């Protein structure tokens, strides 16, 4: 039986791309019109107040956006278990042409090909051993996919720390102004306060976006690999003749 494919993959990819673009664009888009109540700063002016930390956060947002777009295109069932390869392997296994199936698996090197190819190499040891190798290989390949998406979690955790760093540097700037001026006004301290608050806001925003994306991809990988693993077990029916047809 065919395993169910993820629901509406195009919609998922579209949402992630828009979200990632917002993470980058939100800090860069300049608003020519002033904020209501007069005297407000544009988004570009607020970003310029963030200093060096703001540009570090910008790099985090660009890197995270690139990862989200790449994962949307590569972490799909069609990529880890191409339908044409699955159909060809099913036909060869049913015909007991195991050597040809192994050759196809070696040439393809996708998730399904790796687990099926390694399992077929153990067909002489019996069905239980073959399934055991499939499960072990599947665990290794799943770990690779999980490690691939873990960089989103890294960026999601680094972003608020950079925001906190910006908060501290902004406070230092404000205290330097207090030290230098005998009677500093709120306007004199505004730049340091802006640096603190804007950096904190951007860092938290990026953390929310990238950590959410990470857990969505993590759950997607878990569901996909489990489905493909079950499909692989179904494909590996007990061989009537491990050496192939007479």
pTM for the model:
0.74
User: What's the rounded Cα separation, in Å, for the pair 94 and 230?
Assistant: 17
Q: State the pLDDT confidence band at 116, using cuts at 50, 70 and 90.
A: very high
Residue pLDDT, tens place only, 193-227: 878 888 899 999 999 999 999 999 999 999 999 99
Residue pLDDT, tens place only, 42-64: 777 777 777 788 889 999 999 99
Q: Tell me, what's the pLDDT at 23?
A: 44
User: What's the rounded Cα separation, in Å, for the pair 54 and 169?
Assistant: 11
Assess whether pLDDT exceeds 90 at residue 236.
Answer: no
Average pLDDT over residues 176-184: 79
Residue pLDDT, tens place only, 118-131: 999 988 888 888 99
Q: State the pLDDT confidence band at 40, using cuts at 50, 70 and 90.
A: low
Per DSSP, the residues of 112-169 read HHHHHHHHHTTGGG-HHHHHHHHHHHHHHHHHHHHHHHHHHHHHHHHHHHHHHHHHHH
């Amino acid at each position: 039986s065919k395993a169910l494919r993820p629901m509406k993959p195009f919609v998922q990819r579209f949402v992630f791309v828009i979200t990632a673009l917002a993470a980058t664009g939100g800090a860069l888009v300049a608003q020519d019109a002033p904020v209501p109540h007069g005297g407000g700063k544009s988004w570009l002016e607020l970003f310029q107040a963030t200093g060096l930390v703001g540009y570090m956060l910008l790099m985090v947002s660009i890197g995270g956006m690139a990862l989200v777009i790449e994962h949307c295109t590569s972490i799909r069932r069609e990529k880890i278990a191409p339908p044409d390869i699955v159909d060809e392997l099913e036909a060869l296994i049913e015909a007991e042409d195991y050597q040809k199936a192994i050759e196809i698996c070696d040439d393809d090197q996708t998730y399904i090909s790796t687990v099926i190819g390694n399992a077929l190499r153990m067909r002489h040891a019996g069905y239980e051993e073959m399934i055991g190798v499939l499960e072990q290989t599947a665990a290794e390949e799943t770990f690779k996919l999980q490690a691939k998406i873990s960089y989103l979690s890294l960026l999601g955790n680094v972003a608020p720390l950079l925001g906190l760093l910006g908060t501290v540097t902004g406070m230092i700037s404000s205290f330097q102004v207090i030290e230098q001026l005998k009677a500093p006004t709120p306007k004199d301290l505004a730049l340091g306060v802006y640096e603190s608050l804007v950096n904190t806001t951007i860092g938290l925003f990026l953390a929310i976006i990238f950590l959410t994306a990470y857990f969505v991809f993590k759950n997607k990988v878990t569901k996909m690999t489990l489905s493909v693993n079950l499909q692989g077990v179904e494909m590996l029916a007990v061989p009537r003749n491990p050496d192939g047809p007479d």
